[in-house]
Amino acid sequence: METEAINTISTANLSLWALFWQADFIVKMVILALLAASVWSWAIIIEKLLCFKRIRLGMRKFEEKFWSGMPLDRLYAEVKDEHTNPMADIFSAATKEWKTSGFVVENVNHVMGLQQRIERVMKITLDKEIGKMETRMTFLASTGAVAPFVGLFGTVWGIMNSFHAIGLTNNTSLAVVAPGIAEALFATALGLVAAIPAVIAYNKLSSDIDKIAVKLENFAGEFSAIMSRQIDAKTAKIKGN
């Protein structure tokens, strides 16, 4: 008889779908919240992985063109309106500032001011691009940190329901206790399912952002040196006049 009761519980009451529908309202909200967090986390992870892959490919192609000896004016004409990757955007912003301000320099002080403006434009563009890459990363960090505790809350609530059922029926049989405990464990499992991928992805994506940021900073420094040599040549020309 007891075996039949256990079999009935396991087949009828402890499927995932049945656990959700027979759960307490609070536990249902916990389960739905964790499922939503997990789905949204995976959407962010997939979007970021594809985005970073596209950025790295675009940067590699741009660097090949940049160091190929192609005239910078021609390269600027190709990439100024594309916005395909942050490295090209940094180059375009600096070159645009050079073209805009380069025609109005009249003395050495103006030339030195041009150098500072170019570096400032590159820094602002770099910060904007890093900010774009970091969007929604906070959600992954929050999910990784909070989801286990949300699941734990569902666990505690489910166990409380089990003890409440015991108190009402004055019966400690498995048929009374099992549903509440199963709900509790289900919530715990969902908390881990949401948290673990979010933590792993956050660490991986943060590392990718750091690597991209280093490459962008190095490029900005190299391009700044190139522009500085041109500015020095313009300064010498002004002094010669």
Q: Where are the domains of the chain?
A: 23-155+196-240
Whole-number pLDDT of residue 150: 92
What's the rounded Cα separation, in Å, for the pair 19 and 24?
10
State how far the Cα of 85 lies from the Cα of 121, in Å rounded to an integer: 16
Q: 166-191: buried (b, 16+ CB within 10 Å) or exposed (e) per residue? A: eeeeeeeeebbbbbbbbbbbbbbebb
Q: In the block, which residue shows the tokens 């989801």? A: 147
- Round the average pLDDT of the chain to a whole number and report it: 82
Q: CA-CA distance, 100 to 98, in Å (whole number)?
A: 6
Looking at residues 145-149, what average pLDDT do you find?
94
Residue pLDDT, tens place only, 38-81: 999 999 999 999 999 999 999 999 999 999 988 888 999 888 88
pLDDT of residue 214: 96
52-72 burial: b if 16+ Cβ within 10 Å, else e? beebeebbeebeeebeeeeeb
Of 26, 5, 65, whose CA–CA distance to 161 is shortest? 26
Is there a contact between 173 and 8 (Cβ–Cβ < 8 Å)? no
Q: Which two tokens stand for residue 224?
A: 């700044």
pTM: 0.81
Nearest to 201 by CA among 132, 114, 142: 142
Q: Is the pLDDT of residue 106 over 80?
A: no
Burial class from Cβ neighbours inside 10 Å (0-12, 13-18, 19+) for residue 229 reads exposed
pLDDT in tens, 191-212: 999 999 999 999 999 999 999 9
**SS3 readout for 89-104:** HHHHHHHHHHHHHCCC
H-only helix segments in 102-136: 108-133
Q: Cβ contacts of residue 113 below 8 Å, gap of 6+?
A: none
